[in-house]
Structure 1
C-alpha cells in the first residue's frame, strides 16, 4: 500500500485473486454514495477503512466484464484507473488482468546511455494504424540500427484518429490501436528484435472531450493555469491522491507493459509549488521500480524552461529526469538548413552557424539572455564540465516540429535531401542522444499534418477555426490550411513505404552514421568534450565531438575546412572527396559533409 494515500498499485479493478471475489476501488472524496455497476448489476460500495475518500466493493468478475462507478445515483462513469475502454472514453471500463500476456522474449532492459531513439505514431506509421501492423515493420528499425522505438501517446481519446495528446484515460490504451493486449504484443515483438520501447505520456492536461476526472474528485485546480485551462492539482488540497494517480499510471505502464522509458509531455506545465516537486517524486518512484525489477528505466522530459534543474540528479537538488528534448538545437539546425527566421526561429536565424555552434557546445541557446520570441530573458546556463551530453535528445524533426507547420512539410521537402543528409550528421554523430522521426531515414515525402476526430460538432469547428486563425496570422490563406477533421488529412499523413527501403540512399547514409556512432562515440561525453569552429558567411562548421570530427559545408559552393586533428581517417562522407590536405584542410563539395576520426 502507498503509505501516504492508502491506494494500492492496482486500485480500480484489482488483479485476479487466487480465490474469492475481485476488489473494485475508486477515489471519490466528494460523493455521499458510490455504486459499482458490474455487468449491468448495481452493487453498493462501502467507504474504505482508514483511507479517506476511497470506496470499495468485492465481486467475482472475469476479464472483459464491463463495469463503472455511479456517484450519488448519477449515470455510471468509467473507472478513472481503467486499463481498458473497449467502447471508447465514454463507455464503461472492462476488467483486465495485466499479467496475462504470455511474454515470448525475455528482456533485461535497454538503458538510455548510447541510445538512438525513433519516434513513431501508431496511427500513421502504417495505413492500418494498429500495433500489430506497426510490429510488422520492426525488422526495418532493427536493421536501421536504432535502439528504442518511442511511441507517441496511446491513451484513449474520442474518435479513431488523432495525435494522442487529447487522451482522457491515463491508465488505458486506445482501443482502435489494439488496446492493452495490442500494446503488449508490440512491445514483445520489439524486444524480440532487440529494441526497447519508450512511451510518450501526457500528465499536464487531459483532452477537452471525455474528461470525467473532475466528477470524481479535485484532479484539477484554478490555483494555476496552463494553455489547456486549469492545471492538474499537484500542490493543493487532496493533491497527494492526484500525484499518486499519475505516478501510479506511469509505473503501471513501465511494469505491466515492460516498457524501458517514458517521454513526459510539456513538463513545464506541471505546475507545482510543493516539495518535493512532482517530477522529483516521479523520478524517485521510477528509479525504485528499476531497482525492484532489476532492469534500467528512464524518463525523458519535454521542457520549454531551459532549466538545468530538470535533469540534475535529485541528490544534487534537481528533479532527476534522465534526459530532455533539446528544441534549441533543433531550431538552430533548422534555421541553418532552411534559412527560416520567423516565429520562434527569429533569434536562431540571425546568425545560424553561431547558433548551431552555441547549442552543440552548451545545449541551450537561451541560457539567461533575452528571447525575442518570448520578449523576456529565458533559461539558465549549464555547467559544461559537469553535464553529460546524453541528458539532451537531439533531432532534426519531431511530430511537433513537422506537424505544427501549416502543411506538415518535412525537412527533406523544405531543404532538399542533400541538406537532410547534413542534418543527419549532427543528429546521429553529434553529442546528444539522437532521435529520428518516422520516415526521416529515407527522406519520406509524405507530410505529417495535424489531424483530429472530435465527435462533438462544436469542438470540431473550434479546432478548425483555431487552426485557420493561427496560420492566417503567418500569411497563409485559409483555404490552404488542411482541415484537421477531414479524414483525408490523416490519410495524407500515413507513411508511404518504399517498395525497397534498402535501396534508398538516405537510408544507407543513416545506417552508416548510426554504425559510426556505435563504434566510435562513447556514451560518457560531457558538454566540455565538444568544440566547434565555423564561418558564418561561408557557411561551414567543424565540430569535434569526443574522438569524432564532423565537417559540414552548408554552402552552395565548394569549401576548404580547416581541421585541427590530422592525420584523420574518413569514416563517412556524403560525396566523394579526397582525404585532408597536408596543410590539414578538408575540401568538400557544396552541401556536403564528412565524419572523420583523427589524432590530437
Structure 2
C-alpha cells in the first residue's frame, strides 16, 4: 500500500512508522502521498503539521483499538472459494444479527458455525449490524469511527471475508449495516485531517458530515468509497444505510443518488446484483425513486410503520410513537401501502408526516419486521414480544410478516421466540462519556412513555455494564422447549409457503387487502379475526382467546395449506377457529 491521505489545509504531513517518520509529498487537491510501498501487516499513522500520529481516515484494520496506529490490510491476499452469482434482496427473507451477541464467543468465525441453521430455516440474506471499529469492547456498532474497517473483537477484516465466503458457499447473501451519518464520540480524529464535518447542518450527534460545503467533494468520495469497497474487497451483496435522513445534503445531486449511480455501474461491471437499502424516518418514496427522476435510487427502504401497526394491534401498546397505531384499519393501511403516515398528522411528532407510495410500486422495495435491533433494543428494558405474548400471538405476528407483500426481516432468535432481552449496551472506556450515556439513556426512559408500560420504578439497564451486554446474548438452549421448537417449525413452514405459493411471494400491493370480524379499534390488544387477502390466497388470523366462526370470501375452492391451531371447515367458505390461531388457504397445487 502506498501511504496516501487527504489533508487540504496541511503544510506538512508525515507517515509515522514504528521506527521512523517519512515526509509525504503534496499530490494536488489536498492529497499527500509517498512512493514507498507498505506491505500487509505494517503499522502506520499520519501526523499533520507535527501533530500527534492519528489513524488513517480510510483505515481497514485497527488491531490495537481506535486510538492506535492503523495496520495495512491487503484484501487481495484472500482466495475466494465460492463461485457466487449474487442475489436480488428484494422479496427475500432477511435475518438481522449482531455478531457480539449471536454466539457465546461473539465473533464472525463463531457465527459461521450457525449459518447452516439459517439455511435450514429458509433465510436468504444475513444482515450484519455495523462492524466498524469503535472504542471499547462491546456495543451495537453505531458509534464506529473507522467506516472502512472491521472491529478487531469480531475478528477483523480477514474474518469478514471468510464469513462472506462461507455464507455464499451455502447460498446465503450478506448485507452489511453501515453508518455514514456520524462517527462515534471517541476515536474520531477526522477533523485533524480536513473539513469532514460542517456546522451548516446539525444532527442529533452535532455537526453534520460535510456533504455540501467547502471540501465536500472529497468527503463525498470518502463516503462513497467506503461503501463501494464492501462490494469489491469483501463481496457483500447489499448495504443497509443507517438513518439516511441525517445525511444533510443540499447539493444538486444528493450523495445517496451519487452512491446509487456508482453502485449500479459497479454492479454492471461485476455482473452480479448489488443493493442499497435505506433506513429513513421520512416516509418519503423519494428514497426509492430513480435517480433520473430526482430520487435517491435506493433498492429498498425500511418501513417501520408496518412494525408499529402489527405490534400495537397485537400487544395493545399505545405509548410513545405507537399512539397512532393499533387499529385494524391502520393495519390494513400499512399492509396495503407501507406508510401509515403518508401526509397525515403524526400525533407523536405533532406535524403532518410522509407522502403516499405511488401506485404500482413493488411492495418488495420495503423491508419490514416485527422485531429488529431498534424496536427491541430501544425499548426501556430491551424486552422482546415473546416476554409478554403467548406463543400463539407470536405465530400471528410471524404470519403477518412473512406472508406480507414486503421484504421480511427476522431478528436473531425471533424464530424460536427467544426470551433473552436485547438491551442497549455501549462500552465506553472514558468514564465521563460512560456516565453521560448512562444518564442519557435513563433520561430517554420518561420521554418515550416506557414508565406507563414498566412502572415508574423500573430499573433501566446500565449500557456500560458487562452484565447488560452478556444478558443480551442468545441462549440457544431455549429452542429445546417444545413450545419454542414448534414456533421455530412454524417460521420454517411460513418461509417455505412464501417460496412455493406465488400469491404469497408476490409484492403486488394492489392484490393485497385486509378485512376483519371484530372492532375497528380496541383499548388494549385487539380481539377478533383478520383475513389477509393475497391474490386468491387467504390468511385467517384469530386473536384473543375465544372461538369464532368466520366466512372467508371466495374461498370455496381453496385448501388449507398450513395452520397454527386446528381450524374446522363447517361449510364451504366457513371456518371455525379458536384464537390465537392462523389458517392459510391457498389454491390447490
Q: Provide the TM-score with structure 2 as the length reference.
A: 0.95
Q: Deviations over 1:167-194 (max 9, x none)?
A: 0000000000000011111111111211
Q: Deviations over 1:122-168 (max 9, x none)?
A: 00001110000111011100000000000000000001100000000
Q: Distance in 2 between matches of 1:465 and 1:525?
A: 44
Give the secondary structure class of the aligned counterpart of 1:572: strand
Q: Distance in 2 between matches of 1:283 and 1:580?
A: 54
Q: Distance in 2 between matches of 1:250 and 1:200?
A: 10
Which position in structure 2 is the counterpart of 1:542?
Answer: 531
User: Is the 8 Å Cα contact of residues 301 and 367 (structure 2) preserved in structure 1?
Assistant: yes
Which position in structure 2 is the counterpart of 1:269?
Answer: 246
**Cα distance change of structure 1 residues 318 and 580 upon mapping to structure 2, 3 Å threshold:** farther
Q: Does 1:206 align with 2:183?
A: yes
User: Is the 8 Å Cα contact of residues 416 and 479 (structure 2) preserved in structure 1?
Assistant: no
Q: Deviations over 1:63-122 (max 9, x none)?
A: 111001000001110000011011111010001111111212211111113310000000
Which position in structure 1 is the counterpart of 2:379?
Answer: 405
Q: Does 1:435 align with 2:414?
A: no
Give the secondary structure class of the aligned counterpart of 1:493: coil
Q: Distance in 1 between matches of 2:434 and 2:129?
A: 22
User: Is the 8 Å Cα contact of residues 243 and 279 (structure 2) preserved in structure 1?
Assistant: yes
Q: Deviations over 1:436-466 (max 9, x none)?
A: 0000000111100000100111000001111
**Cα distance change of structure 1 residues 255 and 579 upon mapping to structure 2, 3 Å threshold:** farther
RMSD: 1.5
User: Is the 8 Å Cα contact of residues 565 and 598 (structure 1) preserved in structure 2?
Assistant: no
Q: Does 1:382 align with 2:357?
A: yes
Q: How does 1:94-173 map to 2 (within 5 A)?
A: 94-173=71-150
User: Is the 8 Å Cα contact of residues 534 and 540 (structure 1) preserved in structure 2?
Assistant: yes
Q: How does 1:566-585 map to 2 (within 5 A)?
A: 566=555, 567-579=557-569, 581-582=571-572, 584-585=573-574
Q: Does 1:77 align with 2:59?
A: no
Q: Does 1:480 align with 2:430?
A: no
Please, which runs of 5 or more residues in structure 1 have no aligned partner?
1-13, 15-22
Q: Does 1:259 align with 2:236?
A: yes
Q: Distance in 2 between matches of 1:543 and 1:339?
A: 20
Which position in structure 1 is the counterpart of 2:427?
Answer: 453
User: Is the 8 Å Cα contact of residues 145 and 187 (structure 2) preserved in structure 1?
Assistant: yes
Among 343, 348, 357, the residue aligned to 2:332: 357
Q: Deviations over 1:244-290 (max 9, x none)?
A: 10100000011111100000000111111112111111111111111
User: Is the 8 Å Cα contact of residues 62 and 71 (structure 2) preserved in structure 1?
Assistant: yes
Q: Distance in 1 between matches of 2:500 and 2:480?
A: 24
**1:580: Cα distance to partner?**
6.5
Q: Provide the TM-score with structure 1 as the length reference.
A: 0.93
Which position in structure 2 is the counterpart of 1:467?
Answer: 441
Q: Does 1:520 align with 2:495?
A: no
User: Is the 8 Å Cα contact of residues 405 and 506 (structure 2) preserved in structure 1?
Assistant: no
User: Is the 8 Å Cα contact of residues 80 and 213 (structure 1) preserved in structure 2?
Assistant: yes
Which position in structure 1 is the counterpart of 2:7?
Answer: 28
**Cα distance change of structure 1 residues 478 and 470 upon mapping to structure 2, 3 Å threshold:** farther
Which position in structure 1 is the counterpart of 2:16?
Answer: 37
Q: Distance in 2 between matches of 1:171 and 1:501?
A: 40
User: Is the 8 Å Cα contact of residues 549 and 598 (structure 1) preserved in structure 2?
Assistant: no
Q: Distance in 1 between matches of 2:365 and 2:229?
A: 24
Among 286, 298, 301, the residue aligned to 2:278: 301
User: Is the 8 Å Cα contact of residues 121 and 491 (structure 2) preserved in structure 1?
Assistant: yes
Q: Distance in 1 between matches of 2:216 and 2:506?
A: 38
Q: Which moved more, 1:586-595 or 1:300-309?
A: 586-595
**1:565: Cα distance to partner?**
2.4
Q: Distance in 2 between matches of 1:546 and 1:172?
A: 45
Please, which runs of 5 or more residues in structure 2 have no aligned partner?
520-526
**1:500: Cα distance to partner?**
5.9
**Cα distance change of structure 1 residues 108 and 87 upon mapping to structure 2, 3 Å threshold:** same
